[in-house]
Structure 1
Amino acid sequence: MDFLFWGWMMSFSLNNGCYSLSRKPHRNRVKAGILRRIKIRRKPVIDVDSIFFETKNVRPSDLSGGRWRRNGFNHQHMKKRVITLGVAALGVAGAQAADGKLWEVSASLKGFYDDNYTTSPDDLAEESWGIEVSPGLSLSYGQGTDLEINAGYAYGLRWYNDRAGDDQDHGHELGLNLNKAFSESSRLILSESFVVAQEPEVLDPSLSFPLRTEGDNIRNTFEAGYAQDLTGNFGAEIGYSNSLFDYDEDYHSALLNRQYNSVDLAGTYNLDRLTKLRLGYKFASTDFDGSDLQVPGLDFLADARDSYSHFAYVGVSRYLDSQYEAQARAGVQYADYHNADLMAGIIPDDETSPYVDARLTWTYAESSTLVGGVTLMRGATDLQAADQETTAVYAQLTHRFTDLSPDLYGTLTGRFQNGEISGGGDKLDGKEEDLLLLGASLSYNITESIWAEISYNYDELDSDIPRRSFERNYVSFGIGARY
């Protein structure tokens, strides 16, 4: 099962000085990568999130919780530091807690109903009630010091009442984050994320593969980022990322098993204390290492999809005031499929496309935030083609109902994503898929250590490819506790 039940990714809230595995709404997913704004005393902001700003096609349900994550977590700690597992890196944001508790354990118990747990076309959809159980452990060291280390592990078990064959899903998620300040003008961030899951948005946050797949599917991601102030208002940033994808089922393994490496270099200029300009270059390589796929009339060679991508972009980070934060990158991506001759006519020689990643965050009240953004970039596909060009628009509203009760929280999320297939011959080239994801949830903190929640998610895939379109409704309700 997807870690944290069907794609819910475990988050940690700093509770009394420790990170809690309370599975909070994934606000940091929007900040995918190492997204942390680092304020330096009497100096401009060192903006490490510039290196890992890419939102990786954020799924709104990941932002909000709902089916994919516990929504309505321990919101009274919302202003405290948050670390979220399941992203390409561990994002850290917020303020530091009052004391220095180093560890915390938690567990949740939920009931659920899923009317299409196989993400199949309507005439093949299968439904089931079930039970979810998820324990977790988190560790935290050095909060508020020059060296911060955070780690966490969570296990998820989902039991299906009406599923034929294996009626259980199991998921694991392990994360580690290190944040080291060498001086007031330089900082290093390292992160590691390992997941075993079945839900697509947990395995690949870009949602290159929109369908659920059975088995012990693995994603491992390591990221490193370094930012340095130079002379005057100038600075430099460098980032590195490595992701490994290993799918269990033979068909998806042949099409999606791959390793992705990227190096990002950027020069920065502090226009003022609140505005940073950026000029950058990024190189990325994608190496598909699955077995060759044999289908009637076509032997699909995994190596033919290997590519080198070059990105050139300009960017800006602007902190308008304590309420507004805006970041954007815009440029061009050139993809070179250097093994295209292995499958001439199926894989193109190269592709050039726009590259956009923009996000706006508005904190309009205490523990109440609106996040919205847009991304446009190339990514993998589970179809027999080179890749796809994906455009995504997303938003998340998290609101604290202070007038009704300071312990009541709600979240609304939405994401619309369009993918256009590149390559694959006449049957696939230029075909499109539209993915709509909506979520809503309410949570209530019964006590400092116990919460209750209810959530709803709706997914719809509208595909030009026959027998891929589906609809899915999911409802969950339950309780959780931490110590």
Structure 2
Amino acid sequence: TEVETKNERKPINREQITVKETPTKGVTMKPATPQTEQTPSTEPQKSSFSEVPMPCGGFGDQTKNMKRIVASVGLAALGAASIQSSHAQALGTEKPWSISASLRGFYDDNVNTVKTGKINTFGVEISPTISMRLPSADQTTAELIYTYAYKWYDKKPDPSRTGTSDQTHTVAARLMHAFNERTSVSLSESFVIGQEPDQIRSGSQFASVQRISGQNVRNFGAITVNHQFTPTFAGEVGYANAFYDYEDNLKSSTSYGVSSNTVPAGTPLGIYPVGVNASRSGLLDRMEQTIHADARWTLQENTIVLVGYQYMMGRYNANEPIGVIGGVNIATNVVVTSGNRDYNAHYGYVGAEHSFRPDLFGSLRVGVRFNDNYASPGQETGTSPYVNASLRYMYAKDSNLEAGVSHDRNANDAFSTQGGSITVDSESTSAYIAVNHRIFLDLYGNAMLTFQNSTFNGGQFDGTSEQYYLANVGLEYHINQNFIASVSYHFDHLDASQTGRTYDRNRFYFGATVTY
């Protein structure tokens, strides 16, 4: 099930949250952890619950989160009062750089998000972050953030590997330039390589963190140009590119690919799989490109309406076998490859943004998506609704409440075939409510609930659904402007009886932020 981002001005593609589990009888799925990949918005976004979203997957969300990395309270509390830097105080909010040193302790009772054979582990994460902002000019602003994360587990999360640690590198950058008072351009880039690329790839504050073995790569890039034609009419055009590359591929294991044997033992006649074991790369490696154009009218000072179009092109580029269509004789079967899931999509939508009052803001996008799965054996086409709505309420100082709902189609790795049909994607509806509250002067609390329903399109799973639930609650204590102690709890549940991938997961985190 794909978790969908709030406050997007454009339709966006989302990736199915998928769960690592043994395939059901007669169905081949690459065991995979839940994932929340999603194509970034191609447009600058309004401020939202836990982020200041930017194009290309929520750069602003990374900026905020990277400045609030947590460390072990027990270690960081030693001498915490002396950490505060007078130099940092002098520079204030205009300081062009900052450095965060972090150490996070955690417990995870199902690190691989599986139904059976769970691995529970304690661990520690060390993560420095460097952020730089060029001195602001009248027309240009630029930012660059780099984060390195080293995570150690007391138990091997992947029994097939020898190590007990993970490493992740994250780079985010943006550039905004105003050519004049009417025309501006924004560019953004977000790159991550490691075992947890989905922790920031969706740009969503309720994206769960799932571990995926291997050096996995995700990259978002976007450019947007805005022009104010008249005081009440403006236009925008943009391009975005999303790239996904998983290490788990045909070359990494001899078990992947078309089998030389006949029907595997216990496989019902005429039902997939028949001699194919697909890799994660085969099912998910792809490039998604989007272009969009919007027209926006300012009806009054606090109300904007818009109409827009977006074209999306998705290309699965692993060039690996992922399934078989045919009978029990593998010699006469038709092999389905990654490219058979390629698609083109067209969006038409209307929307509005309205400030009901200074502390209450709403955004709505509704439209239609036309999908053309031209490369699939059945060459399916069809329409589906597109919805993205959010409401944000700043009810007190440093306290806010946000709720939203979204609906769109998304990629997934729960692949199956039935007759001449293959699973091409899923259609997902996601709803969330989140709150940040300043409890006392230096004590902050946060909580969030998320629900998502995803329905498979095509194959043996056609018309069946999975439900994903996520809840978390946390506390932060601001000891001073350079040090924040924190604790949080996260619960995940996937109800996926049709695909046999149901699981529960509990995670606890404790730590502190040290920033200079």
Partner of 1:334: 370
User: Closer, same or farther in 2 for the Cα pair 1:166/1:172, shift >3 Å?
Assistant: same
Report the aligned-residue RMSD. Answer: 3.1
Counterparts of 2:208 and 2:506, CA distance in 1: 19
Partner of 1:135: 128
The counterpart of 1:380, out of the listed 389, 402, 411, is 411
Whose strand proportion is higher, 1 or 2? 1
Counterparts of 1:447 and 1:194, CA distance in 2: 32
Partner of 2:453: 418
1:465 CA displacement:
3.3
Matches within 5 A, 1:249-264: 249-250=248-249, 251-264=279-292
User: Closer, same or farther in 2 for the Cα pair 1:469/1:54, shift >3 Å?
Assistant: same
The counterpart of 1:451, out of the listed 484, 493, 511, is 484
1:145 CA displacement:
3.2
Single out whichever of 198-207 and 258-267 deviates more from structure 2.
198-207
The counterpart of 1:180, out of the listed 163, 169, 177, is 177
User: Closer, same or farther in 2 for the Cα pair 1:349/1:29, shift >3 Å?
Assistant: closer
1:237 CA displacement:
1.2
Q: Is the 8 A contact 1:135 1:154 kept in 2?
A: yes
The secondary structure found in structure 1 opposite 2:179 is strand
Single out whichever of 81-90 and 409-418 deviates more from structure 2.
81-90
Matches within 5 A, 1:36-115: 50=9, 88-91=57-60, 99-115=93-109
Counterparts of 2:192 and 2:346, CA distance in 1: 28
Which gives a bigger RCO, structure 1 or 2 (Cα 8 Å, sep 6+)? 2
Partner of 2:44: none
The counterpart of 1:361, out of the listed 392, 415, 433, is 392
Partner of 2:149: 156
Q: Deviations over 1:221-259 (max 9, x none)?
A: 001112211135221111211000001112110000000
Counterparts of 1:216 and 1:377, CA distance in 2: 29
Q: State whether structure 2 residue 433 is matched by structure 1 residue 395.
A: yes
Q: Is the 8 A contact 2:12 2:408 kept in 1?
A: no
The secondary structure found in structure 1 opposite 2:374 is coil
User: Closer, same or farther in 2 for the Cα pair 1:335/1:357, shift >3 Å?
Assistant: same
Partner of 1:12: none
Matches within 5 A, 1:220-235: 220-235=219-234
Counterparts of 1:296 and 1:124, CA distance in 2: 29
Q: Deviations over 1:11-68 (max 9, x none)?
A: xxxxxxxxxxxxxxxxx96456xxxxxxxxxxxxxxxxx4x58696999xxxxxxxx9
Counterparts of 1:290 and 1:354, CA distance in 2: 29
Partner of 1:125: 118
TM-score, reference length from structure 2: 0.73
Counterparts of 2:101 and 2:394, CA distance in 1: 29
Q: Is the 8 A contact 1:433 1:462 kept in 2?
A: yes
Q: Is the 8 A contact 1:86 1:194 kept in 2?
A: no
Amino acid at match of 2:458: G
Counterparts of 1:146 and 1:219, CA distance in 2: 30
Matches within 5 A, 1:246-325: 246-250=245-249, 251-294=279-322, 299-325=335-361
Counterparts of 1:167 and 1:246, CA distance in 2: 23
Counterparts of 1:141 and 1:211, CA distance in 2: 33
Q: Is the 8 A contact 1:208 1:379 kept in 2?
A: no
Q: Deviations over 1:269-306 (max 9, x none)?
A: 11111111101111000000113235576733111111
Counterparts of 2:231 and 2:365, CA distance in 1: 23
Single out whichever of 205-214 and 415-424 deviates more from structure 2.
205-214
Amino acid at match of 2:401: L
**Identity %, equivalent residues:** 29
1:103 CA displacement:
0.9
TM-score, reference length from structure 1: 0.78
Q: Is the 8 A contact 1:234 1:267 kept in 2?
A: yes
Gap regions ≥5 residues in structure 2: 18-35, 37-46, 65-90, 250-278, 326-333, 416-422
Gap regions ≥5 residues in structure 1: 1-27, 33-49, 60-67, 69-77
User: Closer, same or farther in 2 for the Cα pair 1:83/1:234, shift >3 Å?
Assistant: closer
Q: Deviations over 1:312-356 (max 9, x none)?
A: 11110112221011111101000011212xx33xxx521210000
User: Closer, same or farther in 2 for the Cα pair 1:467/1:414, shift >3 Å?
Assistant: same
Q: State whether structure 2 residue 497 is matched by structure 1 residue 469.
A: no
User: Closer, same or farther in 2 for the Cα pair 1:234/1:54, shift >3 Å?
Assistant: same
Q: Is the 8 A contact 2:16 2:411 kept in 1?
A: no
1:86 CA displacement:
11
1:175 CA displacement:
0.5
Partner of 2:462: 429
Q: Is the 8 A contact 1:56 1:205 kept in 2?
A: no
Q: Is the 8 A contact 1:170 1:197 kept in 2?
A: yes
Counterparts of 2:120 and 2:55, CA distance in 1: 26
Q: Is the 8 A contact 2:448 2:472 kept in 1?
A: yes
User: Closer, same or farther in 2 for the Cα pair 1:84/1:359, shift >3 Å?
Assistant: closer
Amino acid at match of 1:393: A
Q: Is the 8 A contact 2:59 2:203 kept in 1?
A: no
User: Closer, same or farther in 2 for the Cα pair 1:87/1:283, shift >3 Å?
Assistant: closer
